[in-house]
Structure 1
């Protein structure tokens, strides 16, 4: 077997793994955080927020694994990262 075929097979496998994880996240219904919401966070996978050039409240989303290994998505509000520059 030539090296080009091996490299192509490895690349194809890596792309399939990334695609599967993206599809798994898309199937999860986001939960909206409210005060007192019980959070079962084992590992944070990603954190995103709305882009804003100024300080203020933005919408954010955290994707994480719970203690059973299931992917969960949490929507919440937070101060933009730009608010920390004045401290």
Structure 2
């Protein structure tokens, strides 16, 4: 029996099916619903300026920061 595994690296800035490619010139702020110690999914929001100087915001879900701290 032979198992072949091929891994592909995907650049962070590549457009994915998960969402649109954003035109971000400068990040103004990032906030999330976190604050708890439990690992889980939480809402987050990034406010940014696009390449035309327009202030925009993008809301998304992410794993809580505590998920990366070995808790």
1:27-47: CA deviations, max 9, x gaps? xxxxxxx72412000010000
For the residues of structure 2 that align with 1:53 and 1:72, how far apart are their CA atoms? 30
Q: How many pairs were matched up?
A: 54
1:53 Cα shift? 2.6
1:38 maps to 2:29: no
Instruction: Provide runs of 4+ in structure 1 moved above 2 Å.
Output: none
Once superposed, what is the RMSD of the aligned Cα atoms? 1.8
1:48 maps to 2:37: no
Gaps of 5+ in 2: 1-16
- TM-score after normalising by structure 1: 0.57
Structure ranking higher in strand proportion: 2
For the residues of structure 1 that align with 2:60 and 2:19, how far apart are their CA atoms? 13
Residue in structure 2 matching 1:79, options 53, 63, 67: 63
1:83 Cα shift? 0.7
Gaps of 5+ in 1: 1-33
Structure ranking higher in helix proportion: 1
SS in 2 for 1:86: coil
For the residues of structure 1 that align with 2:49 and 2:64, how far apart are their CA atoms? 24
